[in-house]
Amino acid sequence: MTNILFPTTVIGSLPRPAWVQELILDRKNGQLSEEEANRLLDPAIESAIRLQERAGLEEITDGEWRRESYVKVFAERVRGFAPDLNPSGGLPYPAVVAPIAYHRPIAVEEVRYVRERTQRRVKATLPAPYIIARRMWHPEHSKAAYPTREKLMADCVPILRQEIEAVRDAGADTVQLDEPWLSTMVDPNFRERENVADVQYEMDLCVDLINQTLDGIQGVATGMHLCHAHFDREHGTEGPYNLIMPALAKVRVDTISMEYATPVAGGLESLAQFPGGVRLGLGCIDHCDRRVETPEDVVARVEGAMRYVDKERITLHPDCGFSPSVQNPMDLDEAYLKLKAMCQAAALLRERYA
């Protein structure tokens, strides 16, 4: 994908139609078998593939339409978790209650299904070790199995490495680790709310776990995504990324994808500290704004980033997945039009800067 200027991709999720949302929750509640759910989901996901192709994207996913959420999918496929014990983030999350063990593939079937149905590049998305433990370690329910969050984080690493090799072999061109927690730590109110006493320790831990998970992996492009988190068009935190830029310089990935279209990110000036030697995944579509950007809007955002990062290092994508959890109400037609505008902007940029 990097042999063209301004390649386009998605972060992961697309908004799910209401009937797909219901289907996922019915499967979770045991009202529908996994086999029957997949029989119904397969043609729906094929339509999500065609939507992304029609928009013009160079790299696509399955829309994450088989998942309840980008984090909970880990607990669904790895032994050791019990559902809905942890109120983390306002929605009930699983909690780890026993030593974890790889049980079945997390994203392999997602990747294989898309790979067999498209000639575009395919991205696999997986939660990073730090966010898994932050979301799904509970001081009451988890301590018998994992006295600390850090011990759970460490046990996530080999499981994720095994999965990354499996999705690569299934046809993924890119593997992206989702780690929004790192960027949410720029917000002092968030740090107070989450009792983050030593922010430097937490940043270093997060980055070290990313590197442990990806170091030595061959044959697939690697990425990391961070954002301010969102639900129902509202962000969970805000603030520029200056605090975390030195930590990002230590991350050993091919692309670091960041949220910049939204005003809560504090503007593009923090890109003056963006590390060299890595691609910038530039969030240039504000998924929380109901207004559909024009291609010219997107071009202006990208040209603003080019004041700090060379054009050869910029990939275009929305700020975040449109619907990281099945409960997140978003509009599919709106997402399509935003993705189409982004791809049209990429074409304009190539004409201007080739």
Closest C-alpha among 134, 102, 117 to residue 63: 117
- What pLDDT is stored for residue 168 in this prediction? 98
208 by Cβ neighbours in 10 Å (0-12 / 13-18 / 19+) ranks as middle
CB count within 10 Å of CB 217 equals: 14
Rounded to the nearest 5 degrees, what angle is found at the Cα of 243, between the Cα atoms of 290 and 280?
60
**Low-confidence stretches of the chain (pLDDT beneath 70):** 1-2, 88-89
d(CA 297, CA 338): 11
- What pLDDT is stored for residue 230 in this prediction? 80
Q: What is the pLDDT of residues 71-103, one digit of tens each?
A: 999 999 999 999 999 886 677 899 999 999 999
- What pLDDT is stored for residue 327 in this prediction? 85
CA 70 to the chain's CA centroid? 7
For residue 327 the two structure tokens come to 């409960």
**DSSP per residue over 185-204, as a string?**
TT-HHHHHHTT-S-HHHHHH
**DSSP per residue over 42-91, as a string?**
HHHHHHHHHHHHHHT-SEE--TTTT-SBTTHHHHHHEEEEEEEEE-GGGS
Which residues are CB-neighbours of 231 under 8 A, at least 6 positions away?
90, 91, 325, 327, 328
Which residues are CB-neighbours of 254 under 8 A, at least 6 positions away?
221, 222, 223, 278, 279
Backbone angles phi, psi at 172, to 5 degrees: -70, 135
160 by Cβ neighbours in 10 Å (0-12 / 13-18 / 19+) ranks as buried
Full-model pTM:
0.96
CA 97 to the chain's CA centroid? 25
CA 250 to the chain's CA centroid? 20
User: Fold for domain 18-353?
Assistant: TIM Barrel (3.20.20)
**Are the C-beta atoms of 57 and 346 separated by less than 8 Å?**
no
- What pLDDT is stored for residue 88 in this prediction? 66
The C-alpha torsion from 151 through 165 and 176 to 10, rounded to 10°, is -150
Three-state secondary structure call for residue 315: strand
d(CA 254, CA 13): 21
Q: For CA atoms 215, 152, 160, 200, give the dihedral sign.
A: negative
Three-state secondary structure call for residue 100: strand
**Are the C-beta atoms of 223 and 171 separated by less than 8 Å?**
no
Residue extents of the structural domains in the chain: 18-353
Q: Which long-range contacts (CB under 8 A, 24 or more apart) does 145-153 make?
A: 145/80, 145/96, 145/97, 145/98, 145/99, 146/96, 146/99, 150/205, 152/96, 152/100, 153/129, 153/205, 153/209
DSSP 217: -
